[in-house]
């Protein structure tokens, strides 16, 4: 089941440098774990912004929410989720 | 080069039925031609809306515009284009 | 799986009276069929507006989209879908 | 009498951990007391967001306001209330 | 029970003159009936706009919706309803 | 002369408790003085929000501004003023 | 008493040419009458838009509304009124 | 003097084909005349939209308005003008 | 050359009192110097808000920007500039 | 390949003066290096605002993002990127 997600990151510019680096490192590790597990098939950087478009592939909405709420950066994120249905013109598997 | 595109379709409810069916058929053929050509790798229906999220893979912005402006439904569309960069946490090729 | 849906109805005031009555009757029958089937557990009128808040209970996003796109009033609707997860404070089954 | 409520929680990321935990615990207890009392029949987590959709069942608007204003998290909330009327197509009691 | 209502009127400029005059006359009569019945205590014109702020005093939300949906101009209105609670600083009865 | 005013209060959650209590007490006293003086005839709490709808009755716009700018909570307010004209359907004096 | 007004004109592009010319001529005559009467002291064209910023000087809000509602173009206008108070830094009479 | 302008074109999809072609041809000729005259130095198509970003170089605001209001497509345009000042970091003449 | 400017002031409520008083005094002096110089002909307080509508009369856009950026309150302002053209119905010099 | 970029700068008014001066100096040097390299052909100050409109000329979207994310002021910026295609009426090379 596919969900489109936009994430905007709002890290305070005056955040302690070590805290920032640790957050970003843990976020990357967490994200790459999910990507390798196959539930985060698409992840793109929105050009010019500290934001991304992603597509998640999950078994339930609760699973989606737990994955997103578990992001180390979650407290600093604005997140918009959109449920994706199969498009009638789609020729190849998503 | 990847571009994220949101398309919202605004077909007048009182559009002649034959005109509507023709438009939609031509749109589907046009879209499937581009998908097979590899420049429209992702196309999802936004659940509950006559709208889609797509990702286009093109060689230039002019090419992207021509592909979008060539859509049979273009006169009835609201289109939002977002340029996609590679995300630093991306593990597998987009 | 639960989805919150807001539907705003935009029927042109000058729509032919018979067409309007038929549309509304078919919409009501369609909606009540789904309610009895258990996939439309909640349906409330937004006070003062030709709009409603609903909750759908479906097995997949495609099923949700097909149910919504099948509404007789769909061409006259603005629809917003929100995926609902279980709330950690929820005491009784949703 | 039913009211639809959207609550968005804005807890500062740098809030003292103990204060946060206490707030969330008191919020949960408060909410579960109201749910058991029957005045908070529906409570769903908006997937991906620190927000919820709820439906309150109260005897008056003052009662609704007092319940909401009494939420331990109230100072950190953005709240939107919508009055819900009975929908003409509703087959089963709300 | 008090509800604040904003109504914006969107009459097409090319509406048949007789139809317009009849609509407005029926709207005025309907509104004045409700005002005399005491359920429409406040009605002000928003300066410069074909819109009004009103306060309704009703026994239930269903009653409010029926009153609003019964307005002859309802098909041409955008309506926003806000539930009003007693203000803690209010010295005189609303 | 009547003006409709919406006031949204944004008190920082971490404001010193004594400062908060003093501000709110002075605000209440100030508001009740104006209500008794007849220039603040209507004051309602927007259900679920730290906000109010009010109607002021003043002799000039400067008087209105001075009354609003004089509110102890003014530095923490978002204020929207709307000039109210007499509605052609109004049966009883506002 | 001064009111700042923004007016946006929405004349349908396919409006009959003679009707358009007559409307615009009557609007100009009406506006110039009010300007000479001193109640429309400022009138500027918003560069690039079929819109204007104006300042009206009137004795009451009802007078303001009647002047605006009397504009021949009123049915085609979006109007926003803002009440203007004397600015504490203002050195010369407005 | 430089002005940034965004123009969005809203041609009705059912506009007579000949009228459309004539409008677009006249618009192109008009635009190219201004470009050659040097008052329209920059004109870019917003990818995916029937819209453009332009920069105009004019001697006065009235000149700018007349140029824009003279566009054959003007009745079908939404236009947003932004005045451009010299940027303190600008190394080469604009 | 005339420019319409809206300025919204966002002074933090907890700004040191002396700093606030000094800022406001310098802002007033600066503004009155420009008004006497004739480049700030109109300045009105938006009723109920810490904001103003102004009209500037300047020789160039760079001059306008420097005047605005030089305001002591500039770091605390949100500013919107609109270029004003002569209105075709204007009877008296602006 | 051309991209239109709007940048809004949000430097906290109470930022340490030396930090501010250093940031702005590094931003200017960085920007001028890119301008001389030809990838930042247009840079204009939006009159009255701490914001600019720019046009970037880059070989890829990743290059664009790296250039923008590398701006010393990036943590204090809101950035909006728009892809620019060649306009069919454009007479001279962009």
Q: How far B21 CA lies from chain J's nearest CA (Å)?
A: 30
| J52-85 pLDDT, tens digit each | 999 999 999 999 999 999 999 999 999 999 999 9
Q: Taking CB atoms and an 8 Å limit, are E32 and F84 in contact across chains?
A: no
Say whether the C–I interface has 3 or more Cβ pairs within 8 Å.
Answer: no
- Our answer on whether I and H touch (3+ beta-carbon pairs < 8 Å) is yes
ipTM: 0.96
Chains G and A touch (3+ CB pairs under 8 A): no
Q: What share of chain G is helix, strand, coil (3-state, %, to 5)?
A: 35, 30, 35
Band of pLDDT at residue A94, cut at 50, 70 and 90? very low
Ranges of chain E with pLDDT below 50: 94
Residues of C within 8 A of B49 (CB-CB) are 79-81
Considering only alpha carbons, which residue of chain B is nearest residue C63? B47
What are the start-end ranges of the E strands in F1-94?
Answer: 2-9, 42-46, 51-57, 77-86
Whether J81 sits inside 8 A of A11 (CB atoms) is no
Is the Cβ–Cβ distance between A89 and B29 less than 8 Å?
no
Bridge partners of E51?
E8
Binding partners of J (≥3 Cβ pairs within 8 A): A, B, H, I
Nearest to D81 by CA among C35, F79, C46, I88: C46
Cβ atoms of A29 and A71 closer than 8 Å? no
Interfacial J residues in 42-61 facing A (CB < 8 Å):
61
**D28 touching C (Cβ < 8 Å):** yes
3-state SS assignment for residue D22: helix
CA gap C75, B13 in Å, rounded: 6
Beta bridge partners of B86: A44
pTM of the model as a whole: 0.96
Nearest residue in chain G measured CA to CA from H12: G13
Burial tier of G11 (Cβ tally within 10 Å: 0-12, 13-18, 19+): middle
Query: At H2, is the secondary structure helix, strand, or coil?
Result: strand
Phi, psi of C50 (to 5 degrees): -85, 70
Classify residue D16 as exposed, middle or buried by CB count within 10 Å of its CB (0-12, 13-18, 19+): exposed
Q: Give me J46's structure tokens.
A: 């939006």
Interfacial C residues in 1-20 facing D (CB < 8 Å):
2, 4
Mean pLDDT calculated for residue range H10-20: 97
Rounded CA-CA distance J50/J37 in Å is: 24
Confidence of residue C64 (pLDDT cuts 50, 70, 90): very high
Phi first, then psi, for residue G7 (nearest 5°) are -120, 125
Instruction: Report pLDDT digits (tens) over B22-49.
Output: 999 999 999 999 999 999 999 999 999 9
Query: Would you call A68 an interface residue with chain D, using a CB distance cutoff of 8 Å?
Result: yes
Percentage of the residues of chain I whose pLDDT score is greater than 90: 97
User: So where are chain A's domains?
Assistant: 2-84
Q: What is the pLDDT of residue I94?
A: 45
**Fold annotation for E2-84:** Alpha-Beta Plaits (3.30.70)
Answer with the residue of higher pLDDT: E93 or A54: A54
| A80 interfaces chain C, CB cutoff of 8 Å | no
Asked if residues A42 and A55 have their Cβ atoms less than 8 Å apart, the reply is yes
Closest CA of chain B from C20, distance in Å: 13
What is the distance in angstroms between the Cα of G16 and the nearest Cα belonging to chain F?
A: 31
Cα–Cα distance for residue pair I5/H89, rounded to 1 Å: 24
Q: B26 to chain A: nearest residue by CA?
A: A89
Which residue matches tokens 């302008």?
A: H5
Spatial CA neighbour of C69 closest among A26, B48, I78: B48
| Cβ separation G48–H80 shorter than 8 A | yes
> What is d(CA E50, CA E73) in angstroms, rounded to the nearest whole number?
12
Which of F68, F75, F76 minimises the CB distance to I48?
A: F68
At I92 the pLDDT is 67
pLDDT digits (tens, 9 = 90+) for I28-44: 999 999 999 999 999 99
Partners of chain C (3+ Cβ pairs below 8 A) = A, B, D, E
| Shortest Cα–Cα distance, H49 to chain B (Å) | 6
Residues of chain B found within 8 Å of residue H49, distances taken between Cβ atoms? 79, 81
Instruction: Count CA atoms closer than 13 A to F70's CA, side-chain side.
Output: 12
Residues of chain B with pLDDT under 70: 92-94
Say yes or no to pLDDT of F14 above 80.
Answer: yes
Which chain F residue shows the shortest CA-CA distance from E89?
F28
**For a pLDDT cut of 70, what percent of chain G falls above it?**
97
Q: Considering only CB atoms, which chain E residues are within 8 Å of F55? A: 42, 44
CA atoms within 13 A on the CB side of F43: 20
């Amino acid at each position: 089941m596919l969900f489109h997600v936009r994430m905007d990151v709002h890290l305070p510019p005056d955040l302690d440098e070590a805290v920032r680096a640790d957050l970003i490192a843990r976020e990357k590790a967490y994200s790459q774990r999910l990507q390798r597990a196959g539930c985060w098939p698409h992840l793109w950087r929105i050009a010019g912004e500290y934001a991304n478009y992603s597509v998640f592939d999950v078994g339930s909405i609760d699973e989606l929410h737990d994955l997103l709420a578990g992001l180390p950066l979650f407290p600093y994120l604005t997140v918009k989720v959109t449920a994706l249905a199969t498009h009638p013109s789609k020729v190849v598997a998503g």
